Amino acid sequence: MTSPAAELQKAVFTALANDAALLGVLGGAKIYDDAPVHAGFPYITFGLTSVYDWSTSTEIGTEQLFTLHIWSKAHGKAEALTILEAARAVLDDAPLTLDGHHLVSLCFDFAEVRFEDDLVVYHGLLRFRALIEAD
């Protein structure tokens, strides 16, 4: 059986990469697990994933918190906020399919956009909570 975290990331990537509205604001399929050195802005990367046991006496499951990072070099927060909202719209309560696992729920948890002085970029954080049971 594959890892529920790996299966969730694969399903999230597929959902984001197949959304025309999100790809439009990104200017293409710029969604990365690890961004290339010369990736063009703006883009999204996968960040921290935390996995917690959510098992009961009858079901095996995990609770996962995962973060997406939005990176923008535009002047002001507007581009980062637009991308953040487009990605949230794709994933919040999405009925994703996972191999070997069942997604019970996927919900938006937290978001922020801040300016990173040292990188001279706007950096958005978008966190979700997922509950997953084994098939």
DSSP the chain: ---HHHHHHHHHHHHHHT-HHHHHHHTS--EESS--TTPPSSEEEEEEEEEEE---SS--EEEEEEEEEEEE-SSSSHHHHHHHHHHHHHHTT----BTTEEEEEEEEEEEEEEEETTTTEEEEEEEEEEEEEE-
Retrieve residue 4's tokens. 């529920």
CATH number of 57's domain: 3.30.2000.30
Count of domains for the chain: 1
pLDDT, tens digit (0-9, with 9 covering 90-100), for 76-133? 999 999 999 999 999 999 999 999 999 999 999 999 999 999 999 999 999 999 999 9
Containing domain of residue 75, as a range?
Answer: 4-134
